[in-house]
Structure 1
Amino acid sequence: MTIDDLRVFAAVCRAGSLSAVARELNCTQSAVSQHVKRLEREVGLALIERHPRGVVPTTAGSLLRTAVATGLGGIDHALHRIAELSRGEGGSVRITTGATSIRHFMSAAVVDFRRRFPRVSLEFQTEVSSRSCLESLNAGRVDLAWITLGAPARGIDQQPVVDLPWVLAVTAGDPLAARARISPADLQDARLIGLPQNSVSRSQVESWLGKSGIRPVFDTSVADWDTAILLTELGLGHAVVPALPQWQGPGHPGLRLLPLPDLPALTAGWAVRDWENLGPLARAFADTVAAHCGREAPPAVDPETA
């Protein structure tokens, strides 16, 4: 088997489609199929099953996919670091995060980092969930993942950066708007705007409400926190979201953010494959974001002396 066979197999498992991978690699579907068949001949078992809507890995295929993700991720990470070293300061940092995280957590840090390292490119890859970010990190497609921290992930180091207290977002004319704080009982039968499915933030909110015996109505759902705030301002319901500074002030005159002190804070921060082997430029960017968020990350590494 070759590294190309393994790369194509991993791409097929990720996309669930031979034709999609063929389009991605600008080759024929037959060429993609040949990569998979070579692996199947090598291991002596079928690795994928074909279904009307695409392909899925078999039990053997799932085992190989996990091993490939870990192994190729390490190789890609090493090659990226070698290329970075060969270019000196003119390298790149690859970051994955949610669609709105750059604005809320990184805008000042991006400006600061670019001023210090004008020749370094920042490559952002947006994902819909922290789980997707971790998959990209584990596959070696990125150096850093900004996530909401949840359960430990095998082979991943998670570094907390900022704690985010929760608030209930309501319109200024809502009956709850005059409250100094919100308790779980205040949310009984409330119409809540649902946070992204399978996200850490939604799981934490639903777990807290369930333990409190509260059953609100989720009749609207969104893909990110900013959209939840927009729909709240439009009068479509209430939103339980982290308290972010950009939502306060003259830009949102009709919005009220009411503290939910009983709901444990949500923690956001960095995930990496290995802090000790993280490239100096990526480490510098992670430290810059942490500094602007007000909490120290692991000790900084100077890219010019590393």
Structure 2
Amino acid sequence: MTLDDLRVFVAVCEAGNLSAVARDLACTQSAVSQHVKRLERETGVALVERHARGVVPTRAGRVLYEAAQGGISSLDAALRHLGELRDGRSGTVRITTGGVTVRHFMAGTIPLFRGRHPETTLEFRSSHSARRCIELLHGGWADLAWITFGDPLPGIEQRPVVDLPWVLVVHADDPLAERDSIDPATLTAIRYIAHPDNSVSHRRLEEDFIRLGVRPPTPVGTADWDTAVLLAELGIGHAVLPSLPRLDVGAPLRAIPIPDLTPLAVGWAARRWHTLSPPAAEFAALVTRHLTGEPTP
């Protein structure tokens, strides 16, 4: 069993097609198949099932895939870090997150980090969902992910940072603007600017509506958090949003608490926290301290 065998096996599981992996690796399909067969001989179990449209891992294959994926990603990160140390480079901290996250959660930390590490590059990769962020972590394309917490994530270490209560953002001329809080019954009649279907925040709201026994409002549009604020300012609808650190709700807007909704947990995710480079671990720590009000050393 070699590292190349495991790399090819991981690629086969993710692509679901031997010929696609062969094209990516510039080799023959037979060569790809030989890597998989060697692993099957050494483990004594079938690792993939062949179908008309490709291959899928067996139950045993999924066990090996998850172990190999995490190990290879950690090894690649370590080798990259060693190369940076060897070449005298300060390296790159690669962060994947949603499109609006940097402004709301990291804008206060980035200048401090850049002042401490002027030679270190901060590389941000925008992702449309927490699931995509995790895929980038698993694939070794990112060191850290800032995500909205949902279901447990195998092979990923999660560190919640803050819980965000929900607010209703409305135009100051809206009748609801005079309220001190919004009750669940009122939510059924709002002009709802919905979150994207693939977002954790959308699912959390749907679950809360069921828990509270209220009928979900009919959406008048769909938008990310920042765009929803703009649409509320234009009077198009009402935005149900987490109370973000840099949520701009000055005139002509109001943000009214919705105390019955479950706060939304957000924070960091990484493959293995102890394998992060020192700059990546420090950046995550600085963001955490800034958001939780802890003193920065």
- TM-score interval, normalised by the smaller of the two chains: 0.7 to 0.9
Provide the C-alpha distance between the structure 2 equivalents of 1:201 and 1:11, rounded to a whole number of angstroms.
31
How many residues align? The count is 290
Provide the C-alpha distance between the structure 2 equivalents of 1:18 and 1:221, rounded to a whole number of angstroms.
42
Provide the C-alpha distance between the structure 1 equivalents of 2:87 and 2:193, rounded to a whole number of angstroms.
47
Identity of aligned residues (%): 47
- Matched residue type, 1:219: P
- Cα deviation digits, residues 94-148 of structure 1 (max 9, x gap): 1111111111111221121111111111122222222222232233332211112
Contact preservation (8 Å) 2:90, 2:119 = yes
Contact preservation (8 Å) 2:109, 2:287 = yes
**TM-score (norm. length: structure 1):** 0.80
Q: Which residue of 2 is the match for residue 57 of structure 1?
A: 56
Q: Which residue of 2 is the match for residue 269 of structure 1?
A: 267
Q: Which residue of 2 is the match for residue 303 of structure 1?
A: none
Q: Which residue of 2 is the match for residue 37 of structure 1?
A: 33
Q: Which residue of 1 is the match for residue 283 of structure 2?
A: 285
Structure 2: gaps spanning 5 or more residues? none
- Cα deviation digits, residues 202-227 of structure 1 (max 9, x gap): 22211111111111234356463223
- Matched residue type, 1:239: A
Give RMSD over aligned pairs.
3.1
Provide the C-alpha distance between the structure 2 equivalents of 1:13 and 1:235, rounded to a whole number of angstroms.
48
- Matched residue type, 2:56: P
Q: Which residue of 2 is the match for residue 181 of structure 1?
A: 181
Provide the C-alpha distance between the structure 2 equivalents of 1:125 and 1:147, rounded to a whole number of angstroms.
13
Structure 1 pair 124/108, CA: closer, same or farther in 2 (3 Å)?
Answer: same
**TM-score (norm. length: structure 2):** 0.82
Provide the C-alpha distance between the structure 1 equivalents of 2:50 and 2:293, rounded to a whole number of angstroms.
46
Provide the C-alpha distance between the structure 2 equivalents of 1:221 and 1:90, rounded to a whole number of angstroms.
45
Deviation at 1:188, TM superposition (A): 1.6
Structure 1 pair 62/155, CA: closer, same or farther in 2 (3 Å)?
Answer: closer
Deviation at 1:2, TM superposition (A): 5.0
Structure 1: gaps spanning 5 or more residues? 301-306
Contact preservation (8 Å) 1:191, 1:216 = no
Provide the C-alpha distance between the structure 1 equivalents of 2:170 and 2:288, rounded to a whole number of angstroms.
30
Provide the C-alpha distance between the structure 1 equivalents of 2:235 and 2:12, rounded to a whole number of angstroms.
43
Map 1:136-155 → 2, pairs under 5 A? 136-155=136-155
Provide the C-alpha distance between the structure 1 equivalents of 2:243 and 2:99, rounded to a whole number of angstroms.
17
